[in-house]
């Protein structure tokens, strides 16, 4: 499935975490709020169709995970080994 263009939501916020900092001492971003309902409906539609399209194209196995309704960020409270600011090894 390809990306879905997100519709802005008045509830969505990006703030700086007051206590969590990256290894350079910069506060990490904290995402909060909810995804716009139409964005969720579009993502759910694309998720459902993607499996059908792949199977019709000859895929023998498909996998994925359904869209989430809440905003999320991998850097939130992530252990240092998984932090988004971690340098590639």
In a domain, residue 63? The reply is yes
d(CA 73, CA 76): 6
pTM: 0.53
Residues spanned by the domain of 40: 13-78
Domains held by the chain: number = 1
Are the beta carbons of 68 and 54 closer than 8 angstroms?
Answer: no
In a domain, residue 74? The reply is yes
d(CA 39, CA 69): 9
In a domain, residue 2? The reply is no
Model confidence pLDDT, tens digit, residues 6-48: 888 888 888 999 999 999 999 999 888 888 888 888 888 988 8
d(CA 85, CA 75): 8
In a domain, residue 86? The reply is no
Of 26, 7, 5, give the one whose Cα is nearest residue 17. 26
In a domain, residue 83? The reply is no
Are the beta carbons of 51 and 64 closer than 8 angstroms?
Answer: yes
């Amino acid at each position: 499935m390809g990306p879905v263009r997100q519709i802005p939501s008045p509830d969505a916020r990006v703030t700086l975490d007051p206590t969590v900092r990256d290894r350079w001492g910069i506060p990490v971003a904290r995402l909060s709020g909810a995804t716009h309902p139409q964005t969720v409906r579009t993502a759910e539609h694309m998720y459902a169709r993607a499996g059908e399209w792949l199977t019709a194209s000859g895929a023998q196995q498909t996998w994925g995970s359904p869209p989430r309704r809440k905003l999320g960020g991998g850097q939130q409270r992530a252990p240092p080994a998984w932090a988004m600011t971690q340098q590639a090894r």
